[in-house]
Amino acid sequence: MTTIDNTTNPLTRLGQRIASGQATVGIFGLGYVGLPLALRFAEVGIKVIGFDIDLNKVQLLNQGQSYIERLTPALVQAAQSQGFEATADFSRTQELDALIICVPTPLNAQREPDLSFIVNTVEAALPYMQEGQLMSLESTTWPGTTEEILAPRLQTRGLVPGRNCALVFSPEREDPGNPHYGTKDIPKVIGGMTASCLKLGQALYELAIQTMVPVSSTKAAEMTKLLENIHRSVNIGLVNEMKIVADKMGINIHEVIDAAATKPFGFVPYKPGPGLGGHCIPIDPFYLTWKAREYGVNTRFIELAGEINHHMPHWVVGKVADALNDHGKAVKGSRILVLGLAYKKNIDDTRESPAIEIMDLLQAKGARIAYSDPHVPVFPQKRDYVFDLLSLALDAASVASFDCIVLATDHDNFDYALLQAHGRLIVDTRGRITAGKNVVTA
């Protein structure tokens, strides 16, 4: 049996660098997950290099600017004072002690997992990796990804997790717009390929995160993330279906939910809406259903919730058509204003936003579309949707000029009294506006 010299063991050296605060951390993917994490590590004095293939993001960050509303330029500049910099040069991977991957994991056209962003990132960094580095995957994915996709690639370079490198999975838990929980406050789940991998990963994250939640394996950590979001998807699907039933019966579902929520046990209130948005909840359930087929399991319950939630934008458009019809108008030719482009209130994140699908469906029916969102001044670039639009400023005249207003996202800084006073017809998908003759709940 070979005796390991701890003075030259690369994992021992890595542990010493982490413990001394000398480790350099690389964050791969500087979006809504990666950038907050990068700024948090910098905040506690860790040198951070941020990697992104979007040269515009790299340039803005290196100029001390930000492209995410809640992450102010002052936060970026404070990070720069601690050595933070952004780059598109993957050769700088060789400067790192730890690589944290925070890239998208979308679905393809067949609603199957697309791991191309993960694979491309790993393969771009791999030629510059060396012994004594730690790799952490944060991107949501199916159970088995870390050991089946990442570990074999590391081994092609002679990097064996637990022997001369460390490999962990620690799912992101960002909640944009949550005033109570930021990056440092949200307990962080982590699983390692080996016990030594877990120990090193936990030591790294403990520099920046207050509470760590270690689990037995990377698979358990991957499944934990999926369970969290499937739990929400299923419950939102239930309440969205209840909304449709209540609507047919002439019952206000929001009143019912508020009443049920007074029960001090056994009930958790979920709010219905126009569909699911954000990168996680509309996508993550399909990662598990896809992987479950490999084991001969048909996840009918999860898929049914997904079908209900996926249908909600179509149901909203049907409600808009009915409401316009009751006012003697057709969707075709009507001027329709969609309020709120972000997927939830008080943020600027439009990923998978149902508001955008509602806009697309209405425009396909011949409506003339505009939108207003104080958090999204310019319609963002999307793979599947193209609108050459700017956010419309709201006043009495602009509100009154539309045949119909669809409240898709209930930002707090919308003037709801103005909308109700001057809107000809309002279709409210969030239960935010007090009922009136010109208000239809959808």
Q: Which residues are catalytic?
A: 280
**Cα–chain center distance at 175:** 8
Which H helix or E strand runs over 439? strand 439-441
**Helix/strand/coil for 306:** helix
The span from the CA of 189 to the CA of 220, in Å, is 9
Place of tokens 């996202």: 409
Planar angle of CA 71, 103, 375, nearest 5 degrees: 35
Q: Which residues pair with 166 in a beta bridge?
A: 134
Is 37 in contact with 50 (CB distance < 8 Å)?
no
Q: Report the relative pairing of strands 335-339 and 85-87 from DSSP bridges.
A: unpaired
Q: Which parts of 269-324 are beta strand (E)? A: none
DSSP character string of 176-233? TT-SS--TTTS-EEEEESSHHHHHHHHHHHTTT-S-EEE-S-HHHHHHHHHHHHHHHH
Is 386 in contact with 364 (CB distance < 8 Å)?
no
Give rounded-to-5 percent helix, strand, coil for the chain. 40, 15, 45
